[in-house]
A and B are shown apart, each in its own frame.
Chain A
Amino acid sequence: MKKYWSFFKMRLMAGLQYRAAAMAGMSTQFVWGAMEILLYRAFWAEHPGQFPMGMEALSSYIWLQQAFLTLFAMWNWEHDILRSVKEGTVAYELLRPTDIYSMWMARSVANRLARASLRMVPVLVVASFIPAPYGLRLPASPAAFALFLLASVLMVLVVCSYHLLVYALTFYLTDPNGLMVLSVAAADLLGGAIVPLPFLPDGLRQFAQLTPFGSMQNVPLRIFSGSISLAQAPSVMGLQVFWIITLLSAGYLLTKKGLRRAVILGG
């Protein structure tokens, strides 16, 4: 737990140095959110009957998406880790007394939390003052809010486990960039970034929900906005847990084997 805290502190301090960048980032996120909502408003005005979720729920979804962007973004790689695996310097990490895999996890989680905590608050505050149905509204029940918080934690873990698996695969690939590029595109498409999953055509929608990408932003944002009901939540969150366990153990085994190879090759 302590290493999470120190990574978090370190990144928060680094982030605070770039206040101007953070402010500007918030202003762009605010504009992106507004443009998305203006767009869906146009669809809503013409075809309200064909909406798979209410306008109010959709607005909450969009604002949360903007606020949490750095928390779940697939492009938020830890480039230091990637480099250390690629160049083989990762073997030196074995000299340290901690388990390398949990160290990577701590680092990824802490850095995401630190980055998001700087940007999140202003977007949320502004969005909650926007009149209905275009603003951010709290979930219908305290239970939904609690589930949302839990699902958010699981979301961060799914994203980070996925990243760890990519770092682990880097032991075996000459160039991880292709995998990274494809991951980002897949997460945009199947994770609910380009359109919320309920808007996807049948077939693709069900498929997307089963992939690890569907266990990312899709779950907490839709629990918050009520698009996933309290009754549906347990099974969806169960899938999140499944992916965390699967991705983590696959990555763990690959790292163990990869490290042994790196040591034999001499880094």
Chain B
Amino acid sequence: MKLYLKFLSIHLRSAMTYRSSFFLSCLGQVLITTNVFLSVVFLMDRFQSIGGYTLPQLSLCYAVILAGTSLAECFARGLDAFGRILSQAQFDRIMLRPRPLLFQVLCQDMKPTMFARVLQAAVMLIWALGAGAVRWTPAKALTLALMILCGAGVFFGVFLINACVTFFTLEHIEALNIFMDGPREYGKYPFGVYGKPVLLILTFLVPLALVQHWPLQFLFDRGPAWYGLLPLAALLFLIPCGLLWRLGVRHYRSTGS
């Protein structure tokens, strides 16, 4: 952990060497996600509600997804850029160091600019809470924390799958962006809004609905309390991801490319 923090500080300082571009890319990222949420604001201005959700509730919904993706993107950046790590033979160097491989890949690259989005998520969350999106109980606060953390976990798993595929194909598969960039865009509404097929896919295949749609039902008093624990179940998704990673490393060891 201490080592990880050291890496974080190195990446932060590297990013700060190019200070103006650091702030500009922070700004750019926040503008993109602000626009995403503005689309919600405009539509709610016209229609007032969708599927029984109000604007503050949607703000909370998007804040959860935004915080989860941004945390994952900041810390799993090494997995996102894994194609480059492989092609520049950085993975060989990683294997020459006496620390766990995945840990080192995560240390390899981080994206501190993502904290700007985490900040944005925090602002949206605070606004949503102030506007009375939820009637609070301690259990609901716990669920909210679980949603963000487990959400980051699921996104981490998606990044991990992407990296594992790179072991075999050696290039980034753009189609996987559907599950990487897509949720950051379409997570602005609870996934149930998009209809049953989408909800089913995101419940059982890539369990993003377990950290967003279902626990939201509990937060908004529309579902039973045990929905609030579903984010934990979403973490099961990490098991196949981990197995795939092992398979990828084994493949790398036998082909060396």
Count contacts on A: residues with CB < 8 A to the other chain: 32
**Distance in angstroms between the alpha carbons of A206 and B25 in the assembled complex:** 30
**Distance in angstroms between the alpha carbons of A47 and B51 in the assembled complex:** 11
How many cross-chain pairs have Cβ atoms below 8 Å apart between A and B?
92
A236 CB, nearest partner CB in chain B, Å: 21
A42 touches which one: B28, B42, B50, B174 (CB < 8 A)? B50
A201 touches B46 (CB 8 A): yes
A42 touches B195 (CB 8 A): yes
A175 CB, nearest partner CB in chain B, Å: 6
A195 touches B39 (CB 8 A): yes
List chain B residues, Cβ under 8 A from A242: none
**Known interface pairs A28-B178, A194-B36, A194-B39; A42-B31 also in contact (CB < 8 Å):** no
A24 touches which one: B174, B194, B195 (CB < 8 A)? B174
B50 touches A43 (CB 8 A): yes
A256 CB, nearest partner CB in chain B, Å: 28
**Known interface pairs A43-B47, A194-B36; A24-B182 also in contact (CB < 8 Å):** no
**Distance in angstroms between the alpha carbons of A6 and B71 in the assembled complex:** 45
A178 interface residue, CB < 8 Å from B? yes
Interface string of B165-179 (1 = CB under 8 A from A): 000000101110110
List chain B residues, Cβ under 8 A from A177: 20-21, 24
Instruction: Enumerate B129-150 residues with CB–CB distance to A below 8 Å.
Output: none
| Range, interface on chain B | 35 or more
Interface string of B10-48 (1 = CB under 8 A from A): 000000000011001101100110111011001101110
**Known interface pairs A38-B194, A177-B21, A178-B24; A28-B43 also in contact (CB < 8 Å):** no
B174 touches which one: A21, A185, A188, A199 (CB < 8 A)? A21
CB-based closest 10 A-B pairs = A24-B174, A185-B31, A194-B39, A181-B28, A38-B194, A24-B175, A47-B47, A188-B35, A195-B39, A177-B24
B211 CB, nearest partner CB in chain A, Å: 18
A193: nearest residue on chain B (CB-CB)? B35
List chain B residues, Cβ under 8 A from A42: 50-51, 189, 193-195
List chain A residues, Cβ under 8 A from B21: 175, 177
A189 touches which one: B27, B38, B195 (CB < 8 A)? B38
B204 interface residue, CB < 8 Å from A? no
B42 touches A201 (CB 8 A): yes
List chain B residues, Cβ under 8 A from A27: 174-175, 178
A133 CB, nearest partner CB in chain B, Å: 15
A200 CB, nearest partner CB in chain B, Å: 6
Listed A/B pairs (26) with beta-carbon separation below 8 Å: A27-B174, A28-B178, A31-B178, A31-B182, A32-B182, A38-B195, A38-B198, A39-B193, A39-B194, A42-B189, A42-B193, A42-B194, A43-B47, A46-B49, A47-B47, A50-B46, A50-B47, A177-B24, A178-B27, A181-B25, A184-B28, A185-B28, A185-B34, A193-B35, A194-B38, A200-B42
